[in-house]
Amino acid sequence: MKNLRSILTLLSLVWLSGCGLLDDSDADCPITAEPLEDEDYTLNQNVAYHNNSGGDVYYTVGDCFGGSAEYVWDYSGEIYEMVGRKGFELLTSGTMCVELESGGRRTERLCKDITVHRKHVWARHYVDFPGGKTKLGVTMTINGNVYSGFGNFNSWYRLDTVSFRWQEMANIPNLIDFNAFAGFSIEGKGYLVGNNSILYEYDPASNSWTNKGQLPQLVSTILNLGAFDNRESYSYPVLGVSEGGKGYFGIGNMYYLYEYNPETNEWKQLTDRPERGEIGDHSFAYKGKIYAGKYEYDIATDTWKKGGDDFSVDVGFSPGFVPFNGVMYGGLAGKTVQFDGEKVTEVDLGGATQLIIAPTGLYGNGAVTGDIIVFPRLMGVLGYDENSWMYYLDK
């Protein structure tokens, strides 16, 4: 966390030079044609925690304009970093003041308050997820940290919740043309299912991957990958969840479901889903059941049935469901909702009114760390979400 003054190396010269102390002759020769007023200063005054606010000043040059002008900013709150000449990544609420400096002269000082929102906030971070655009990225929580990556790349990242930046971790060595569309975490380890039909185990302590052996069936068969011209166009959500100390993988464009037991390092094929998976389905595990679109699977009885809710984009659920505050959190028609295993209800926002709209039309994997839910590389109709990341904050 930094005070704004400490990071503006170029403008600190202006701050320390005393150029803002104008004599009478300076006042008679302004750098703007008219004195600046509050309406000349625009600023995004409602910002999500750790996200971008930008400001600008509109003016007409005066007789003593020096050919170019610098913005001289001063903020009473805390920022993480300066974004260009007119943007700021903010951490706390405060007052943002600005002056224009040109040719050793300053304009009037203009100030506006900024509120940094932390409660029940949905935001898209202004810095893209690293590594490029891909569908079906893998996201999971391991030992309280959020990890994400793969899809059509062999890359793996961990979210630093202090900097809100993704730190590159170890990839899986000695692989060519590798994809991975699903994974899960169990007891402090991450598990990833590759298109080469191998299960890999990730150890965060050593930041390394271990080959755990082949699946009992080819992944291309389980997911029907061969029916698509290229894997970049595969948009069917692949199920990868853990529940009760075991991992579950499958469905996608088919109906197959497999269970993995890390204690024995063995897979077991379970009862097929009654119908193929559909684009826009959300999948998650909760209280001994797996939810996949309109169906729910009971792990204890190895049976499927139509669920009480159709967890899919088609009926407005977006961007997905993640365990949070003892229930499953997600979105429905722009509202933040929770699912307790019986019914879906709106979350009490406690009076929050700004930046509370949940993203719509999106699906993919999310994970939680502390008081932040993270959804990297979501899929949707427009496709631009596949290289960005969103977060929900209740801080």
102-111: pLDDT as tens digits: 999 999 999 9
What is the Cα–Cα distance from 363 to 281, expressed in whole angstroms? 7
Least confident piece of the model among 178-192, 196-210, 266-280, 381-395: 381-395
Could you identify the residue written with the tokens 């427009």? Answer: 382
Say whether both 105 and 192 belong to one domain: no
Say whether both 113 and 126 belong to one domain: no
Say whether both 79 and 179 belong to one domain: no
Say whether both 80 and 179 belong to one domain: no
Domain termination residue (choose one: 117, 149, 178)? 117
What pLDDT shows up at residue 255?
96
Least confident piece of the model among 9-18, 116-125, 336-345: 9-18
* Mean of the per-residue pLDDT values of the chain: 91
Say whether both 142 and 251 belong to one domain: yes
What is the Cα–Cα distance from 119 to 122, expressed in whole angstroms? 9
What is the Cα–Cα distance from 44 to 97, expressed in whole angstroms? 13
Reported confidence tier of residue 2, pLDDT bands at 50, 70, 90: very low
* Residue 27 predicted with pLDDT over 80: no
Beta bridge partners of 321: none
Question: What is the domain-level CATH number for residue 130?
Answer: 2.120.10.80
CB 239 within 8 A of CB 365: no
Say whether both 75 and 199 belong to one domain: no
Say whether both 256 and 144 belong to one domain: yes
What pLDDT shows up at residue 383?
79
> Residue range 276-304: average pLDDT?
97
Task: Give the torsion sign (CA, 154, 160, 166, 167).
Answer: negative
Say whether both 98 and 148 belong to one domain: no
What pLDDT shows up at residue 298?
98
What does the block give as tokens for 344? Answer: 């879906």
What pLDDT shows up at residue 11?
35
* Residue 35 predicted with pLDDT over 90: yes
What does the block give as tokens for 319? Answer: 């961007």
Domain termination residue (choose one: 94, 117, 140)? 117
What is the Cα–Cα distance from 20 to 75, expressed in whole angstroms? 17
Say whether both 352 and 364 belong to one domain: yes
Say whether both 111 and 128 belong to one domain: no
* Residue 309 predicted with pLDDT over 70: yes
Reported confidence tier of residue 3, pLDDT bands at 50, 70, 90: very low
pTM, full prediction? 0.91
| Count of domains observed in the chain | 2
What pLDDT shows up at residue 21?
40
Tell me, what amino acid is at 334?
G
| b/e 287-303 (16+ beta carbons within 10 angstroms → b) | eebbbbbbbbbebeeee
Say whether both 128 and 92 belong to one domain: no
256-267: pLDDT as tens digits: 999 999 999 999
What pLDDT shows up at residue 109?
96
Better-predicted residue by pLDDT, 283 or 2? 283
Question: What is the domain-level CATH number for residue 44?
Answer: 2.60.40
Say whether both 211 and 307 belong to one domain: yes
Phi/psi region, residue 265 (left: phi>0; alpha: psi -120 to 50; beta: rest), is left
What does the block give as tokens for 183? Answer: 């994974």
What is the Cα–Cα distance from 82 to 383, expressed in whole angstroms? 29
* Residue 219 predicted with pLDDT over 90: yes
What is the Cα–Cα distance from 31 to 338, expressed in whole angstroms? 55
Q: What percent of the chain has pLDDT over 70?
A: 93
Q: Are strands 121-124 and 138-142 parallel, antiparallel or unpaired?
A: unpaired
- Radius of gyration of the chain from Cα atoms? 26
* Residue 157 predicted with pLDDT over 50: yes
Domain termination residue (choose one: 57, 89, 117)? 117
**3-state SS of the chain: helix, strand, coil percent to 5?**
10, 45, 45
Reported confidence tier of residue 25, pLDDT bands at 50, 70, 90: very low
Reported confidence tier of residue 208, pLDDT bands at 50, 70, 90: very high
State which residues form the domain around 203. Answer: 121-393
What pLDDT shows up at residue 382?
76
Provide the H-helix boundaries in 182-279: 219-223
> Residue range 124-140: average pLDDT?
94
